[in-house]
Amino acid sequence: MGSKRNIHKLFNWEYWPTPMFYIPNIPFAFYHAVKAKNLVFYTAVNPTIENSGIGTESKYKTMQLIPKEYLPVTIFHEVNSDVNESIKKVKEKNISYPLIAKPDIGFRGLLVQKIASESELKNYLEKYPIDILIQEFLTEKKECGIFYLRFPDHQKGKITSLTLKDFPYVIGDGTHTLEELILSDNRAKNYVKIIKNNVTIPLDTIIKKDKKVQLSDIGNHSKGTQFINGNHLISQKLEETITHLNKQIDGWFYGRIDIKYNTFEELENGKFKILELNGILAEPTHIYDTNKTNYLQALKEMRIHWKQLYKIARLNHDQNNIPYRSTIGLLKDVKKLKKYTKSITRLHKFK
């Protein structure tokens, strides 16, 4: 079974490792670095986000840039702080279970978990000696990713990508167990290990006919969520709403916001919650809809966005006197991030 899954992933580029989406575009990135006469010119894109959002930044600090009405209730648990004190804050903030816990620095869903009880939260906080965000579990029914960019000398910006998220699920037939349904589903079986660790229903449960069982609540591609190209839904109203939001977030010109909402009408009218704001490391995730995009088109879309990133960086640097980060300083940050990522990945494997 494992070899069949590996073959399936090999012939479906959606599942290819991250470097496959970046290495082919390195010459393009280097060309723009030469034009800017700086290898790390991109650090001037989002001045108020550390390194413009290359992955080294604190999610909590970045969230503080966003108006509170758009945010889930969040508690910052600092590394080595009192676990019981953080649990006490959960009660004081009236955050009910289940809730979400995730690393303050992290990406692609690493260690993001839905926590069902106080004891489970305590175990999580004790297991991972890192800065952690504890957030209320948002009950909005839908999730999407909106990629937005605005040139610093323009009053209006543009939504360049709208990605709808379809959480993995199976439909019962009254005969097969949950595990059998997962293993027979073309998509779910590729994430079987992750799903088995997250589902709350026993795997040997026979699922009633026509009953839908959602297998994950975390909208990450790495956890099985399917990304669907929703660019046809981009409207003038939605762009006006996101531009209004953008102007309330000081120093954010390029990136993606991950959003929970109930209806598209509410989304257009600004009634939504923001899970995360991602800077220059963000991708226009609609490219992962393999029904509408092939691999070469995905690479081209990345280059199109990087070209806009270059223009924003140059405008901020040349006209607004935003300094580029020193190359050595950035390399030290990236080295530190790699060490950090390896350590928590190791903890995750042996949890």
* Strand partners for 143: 260
Average pLDDT over residues 286-312: 96
> Mind listing the domains of the chain with CATH numbers?
15-65+140-165+226-351 (no CATH), 73-137 (3.30.1490.20), 169-215 (no CATH)
Average pLDDT over residues 208-225: 83
Asked if 159 and 267 count as a contact pair (C-beta separation under 8 A), the reply is: no
Which amino acid would we find at residue 70?
A: Y
* 189, burial (CB in 10 Å: exposed 0-12, middle 13-18, buried 19+): middle
pLDDT for res 110: 79
Q: What is the DSSP letter of 351?
A: -
Least confident of 132-136, 169-173, 255-259, 323-327: 169-173
Asked if 9 and 286 count as a contact pair (C-beta separation under 8 A), the reply is: no
164-201 per-position pLDDT tens digit: 999 888 999 999 998 889 888 888 888 887 777 777 78
pLDDT over 90, % of the chain: 74
**Whether the predicted model's global pTM rises above the 0.95 cut:** no
Residues 6+ apart with CB under 8 A from 173: 181, 207, 209
pLDDT averaged over the chain? 91
Q: Is the pLDDT confidence value at 303 over 70?
A: yes
Tell me how far apart the alpha carbons of residues 302 and 284 are, in angstroms, rounded to a whole number: 7
Q: What is the DSSP letter of 341?
A: H
